[in-house]
Amino acid sequence: MALGRERHPHIRRLLFMLWLVAVGYMLCAQDKPPAAPTLTPTEVQSLRLQVRQKDAVIAKQALDSAQAKFQQALADLNAEAERVKTENKWDKSVAFDMNDLHFTAVAKEPAKDKGASAVKP
């Protein structure tokens, strides 16, 4: 029998290679997580979910519309404040408080002497 094994050494190599391939395949297959099962709600549950989803979409559209209207109202308020400044011939630096609807003159810094030094003895 020992003589037969020596005549066909390529069969042993082939079997060893097949064994390596099989082990490699099994190791690679273990790396993949098992697929999560798909869970399906009942028809009534699915319809309830669809209604809630559509409610959320409608609410988002209303929110977007309200936000756009709010931004436009703020822009109109600021434009009107600029108009008041112009009508009263107030300086552009006058500040407008949109919460209290008050205008405040911004104090100007006194002119600094260019020749005077910052540190006096």
Separation CA 46–CA 40 (nearest Å): 8
Residue 42 lies in a domain: no
Residue range(s) defining the domain that contains residue 68 = 58-107
Residue 99 lies in a domain: yes
Q: Is 88 a residue whose pLDDT tops 90?
A: yes
Residue 92 lies in a domain: yes
Residue 75 lies in a domain: yes
Residue 100 lies in a domain: yes
Residue 22 lies in a domain: no
User: pLDDT tens, 7-24?
Assistant: 666 777 788 888 888 887
Residue 13 lies in a domain: no
Q: How many domains does the chain have?
A: 1
> Which residues touch 109 (CB under 8 Å, ≥6 apart)?
none
- Name the token pair of 29: 């297959």
Query: H helices of the chain, where?
Result: 2-7, 9-31, 43-87
Answer yes or no: pTM beyond 0.75. no
- Name the token pair of 54: 């559509």
Residue 94 lies in a domain: yes
Among the listed residues 75, 76, 83, 118, the one whose alpha carbon sits nearest the alpha carbon of residue 103: 83
Which band of pLDDT confidence, cut at 50, 70 and 90, is reported for residue 41? very high
